[in-house]
Structure 1
Amino acid sequence: MSEKKYSFITIFTYGLVLFSPIAFVRVFQANPSQIIQLTTLAYFLGAALMIAYRLKSQTFELEKRQKKLLITVLIGIVGIPASLVLQMIILQIEQRFLGEPIASQNTQNIVQLIRNNMIFILATTIAGPLMEEFVFRRAIFGSLEKRFGFLLPALVSSLLFAFAHNDGHYLLYAGLGFLFCGMYRYTGRIWTSMITHVGMNLLVILTQLALQS
């Protein structure tokens, strides 16, 4: 599968998954609990399809310079606390200079959905981050990196990642996106940023659930 075809079908699949709850309501007339369950299923189906796309796609230029697997895993694990520290720094900047609240409305909405149906935690901590890494880091950043280098594709990918979350914390999500792009490029493996993204989401969600309890 060519880079263009891979990028298109990956982004298209992501769009279908994001808008799937609308279909569940209008077509199946699902109740709120059923919507959460069906959305979780859609997330995992989307992630599984993207893994299949990855296996069938050609190797990107930056992936030809892969680090050893052990280094990839270690960087991914170290990236978890690093991403949390980065979050705290950017949140302070947003609060002091941009007037944004510390709390993320996106995170609060996700936590509320999880409290309504715990199965949704699987979508937000595993399937969701996997899809976002395939879309924003590999399909967008990875496909542009060969032609434009690191900076411009990383900015484009990170800004789109921020706008996709759409809760006012654009600097926060853009900063995290930039970090994930750097990890992907350094190791040449998309699984590096996936490890960090999944671990970060899991810790943030569990902390929020504990605080609300």
Structure 2
Amino acid sequence: MPKNMSIKQLSTVTILLYGLVFFSPFIFRPFSPDIVIGGTTFTYILGAGLMIWLYIKNKQIATTSVEKNAKLTSPVFIFLLGISGIFLAMIIQAIVFSIETAITGETPSSANTQNIIAVILANPLFILATTIGGPIMEEFVFRRSLIGLTESYVGFWLSAIISSTLFSVIHQDGHFFVYFFMGFFFALLYKMTGKIWTSIIAHCGMNTLVVIAQLIMHYSNIELPK
């Protein structure tokens, strides 16, 4: 591995690393469910840690146009926008769910979220993968790396559309526009500050609140209206 990588090299390595982590559960399948969940959680946290390390190690050279042209780079603004982004993301999610429900008549539930909650109930350790490891990797891959690879050819806005489309497809949830607009919103947070930490804060925070809310409803025996 080169001592200092370009943004294209770093983005490629980051995407390949994500691919390895994404398919890592297949490695643990021959073992017990606890080992599968524990191993998957470990690879998610390890993957996120490696991406952070690669970013810090190469951030002086491997920079995107978004990062070079950003104006609102104050750490205070990054933190405040990241925190407010948690609640804005949840509002956007609720609005898109409502529109989908009005058009299709289907219940606004997420199979992806329900599957994750089921795994967490079986092994609470998986919370670390869904609230920390997964969101961090997704931000480095779908926001920084994919935009970093494509923005010089098609510009930021089309890059954001491409990355948001892939972000939605990878979740395989049946709610394409929900994940698409979430991904696009996170891309806007990244663009506003030029720091991937902004969208990471918002994404991790949103996932954490969703998991907490789902667990509260489960243990309180609360059912959403059909």
> Which of the five TM-score ranges fits, normalised by the shorter chain?
over 0.9
Residue 224 of structure 2 is matched in structure 1 by: none
| Secondary structure of the structure 2 residue equivalent to 1:201 | helix
1:37 matched to 2:38? The reply is: yes
Note the residue ranges of structure 1 that are not aligned, 5 or more in a row: none
Residue 222 of structure 2 is matched in structure 1 by: none
Aligned-residue CA RMSD in angstroms?
1.1
1:9-43 deviation per Cα after TM superposition (whole angstroms, max 9, x unaligned): 11111111111110112xxx310011100100000
Residue 223 of structure 2 is matched in structure 1 by: none
Contact 1:20 1:39 in 2 (8 A): yes
Q: Shift of residue 56 of structure 1?
A: 2.9
1:61 matched to 2:59? The reply is: no
Amino acid at match of 2:47: G
Q: Shift of residue 142 of structure 1?
A: 3.0
Name which of 183, 188, 207 aligns with 2:213: 207
Structure 1: distance between partners of 2:8 and 2:156: 18
Q: Shift of residue 96 of structure 1?
A: 1.2
Contact 1:62 1:146 in 2 (8 A): no
Once the two structures are aligned, what percentage of the paired residues are identical? 47
1:2 matched to 2:6? The reply is: yes
1:135 matched to 2:135? The reply is: no
Amino acid at match of 1:59: T
Name which of 104, 115, 125 aligns with 1:119: 125
Structure 2: distance between partners of 1:159 and 1:105: 18
1:57-115 deviation per Cα after TM superposition (whole angstroms, max 9, x unaligned): 31222112441111000000010110111111000111111344311000000000000
Q: How does 1:1-213 map to 2 (within 5 A)?
A: 1-25=5-29, 29-57=30-58, 58-66=62-70, 67-213=73-219
Amino acid at match of 1:83: A
Contact 1:100 1:168 in 2 (8 A): no
Contact 1:162 1:173 in 2 (8 A): yes
The TM-score normalised by the length of structure 2 is 0.90
Aligned pair count reads: 210
Structure 2: distance between partners of 1:93 and 1:79: 21
Structure 2: distance between partners of 1:131 and 1:207: 23
| Secondary structure of the structure 2 residue equivalent to 1:59 | coil
Note the residue ranges of structure 2 that are not aligned, 5 or more in a row: 220-226
